[in-house]
Amino acid sequence: MDWADDNEQAAFRSRVRGVITASLPKRYGSGDGEEEGSWERDRRSPVAEHKQAAADWTKALAEQGWVAPHWPKEYGGAGLSPMEQFIFKQEMAASGAPSVGGQGVSQLGPTLIIHGTPEQKAEHLPKILSGEVDWRQGYSEPGAGSDLASLQTRAVRDGDEYVINGQKIWTSLAHYADWLYALVRTDPDAPKHRGISFLLMDKTTPGLSIRPLIDMSSRHHFNETFFEDVRVPVRNRVGEENRGWYVGMTLLDFERSNITGAVNGKRTLDRLTAFLQTAEGKAKSPGAKANRLAVADRYIEVDVMFNFSFRIISMQNRGMVPNYEASVSKLFNSEMNQKIALTGTRVFGLYANIYDGKDERAPLGASMSTNYLRSVSSTIAAGTSEIQRNIIATRGLGLPRG
């Protein structure tokens, strides 16, 4: 296989690199990759310098039309081809640059572009692109995750409004967001996929409350979202009433290679091996020699991951739609991520038990130990490994449903 850039791709890559080199605020790019949510956090930060970094980076990307690389140009996106998106993401990940616009850019915008009314598009799309409004997703519930269509949060029509009662959970980064998009049940008697509607809601609406969930790495990433008689105007419904499942499942036409995972995995391993060769690294890694083969295996897996990513992007580049191939890539990427995290802690023996990054005994600022705790969720988020395996089994291997 020849995965080398052609002339046009090489020119685009060098343009992306140029913008990152010239404009990426110093605050970003030093770790193993983009820390998820760093733009969202900085945008709301009480520290003026951090807030400014988020604003400067938004401006730099917006000048190129790269806040929303996959949106069509007529809506303010860059209209990049899947291959250009791939290159863009690869370069962003390689420099640890945060993406801007969160789930407004990745999910809500493309959904509105397909299903939104002209008024909804005019009201919301520009504010996503400018970074003025950050959106978060309220889909999962305590009793509805993999089987999302069994969701119970109820919306009852009352004149020009819906009155919502219920609870969402795992609402990532909702504490930084301004608006939420959510799936709610509007017809409890219909078959479960057909009684759901898709609503947009301002986070400050009375009755809507967000409570933190602290994960096992002591991080506030998730939230619980409660609805107590929350009134949302009917004009904030996207698509028809009771057809929200299909709105929420809109296949968003963008690059699906997981290239960011491959690049970040390589960055982490490079940082680990560089540290292991320093005097401090040698002193703090009594287990390094025994784990040498494990580190080599992780490098091989990262290489395999690059090839999965290249396979998907080459399909998309030929106009094909990846199906079970995207599940293979997601599954492999999330399990690789966990294995890298495990290897990255094992080499440090008992030093890996230090979780405080400020403790000077902690190797690499305890980043490997923190990665280890955080990587647990990678095989759950965005479709669990079991669900990916079901897809691979049925759609890829043609096995019967269990």
Q: Which residue ranges make up the site for ligand FAD (CB under 6 A)?
A: 136-140, 145-146, 170-172, 377, 380-381, 384, 386-387, 390
Q: At which residue do the structure tokens 């730099």 appear?
A: 60
Q: Which is nearer to ligand FAD, 12 or 181 (CB)?
A: 181
CB of 402 to ligand FAD, least distance (A): 8
CB of 214 to ligand FAD, least distance (A): 13
**344: exposed, middle or buried (C-beta count within 10 Å: 0-12, 13-18, 19+)?**
buried
Helical (H) or strand (E) element with 246? helix 244-248
Q: Which is nearer to ligand FAD, 18 or 142 (CB)?
A: 142
Q: Which is nearer to ligand FAD, 213 or 354 (CB)?
A: 213
Q: At which residue do the structure tokens 């990427």 appear?
A: 333
**82: exposed, middle or buried (C-beta count within 10 Å: 0-12, 13-18, 19+)?**
buried
292-317 and 324-346 are packed helices; what angle lies between their axes, rounded to 10 degrees?
160
What DSSP assignment string belongs to 102-148? HHIIIIIHHHHHHH--HHHHHHHHHHHHTTS--EEEE--BTTBSTTG
CB of 371 to ligand FAD, least distance (A): 13
Q: Which is nearer to ligand FAD, 93 or 180 (CB)?
A: 180
Q: 348: which residues sit within 8 A by CB, 6+ positions away? A: 284, 285, 287, 363, 368, 369
Helical (H) or strand (E) element with 211? strand 208-214
Q: Which is nearer to ligand FAD, 284 or 374 (CB)?
A: 374
Report the distance separating Cα 374 and Cα 36, nearest Å. 11
CB of 63 to ligand FAD, least distance (A): 29
CB of 134 to ligand FAD, least distance (A): 12
Is 255 an annotated catalytic residue? yes
Q: 273: which residues sit within 8 A by CB, 6+ positions away? A: 295
Q: Which of 34, 91, 255, 301 is catalytic?
A: 255
Length of the chain counted residue by residue: 402
Residues classed as catalytic: 255
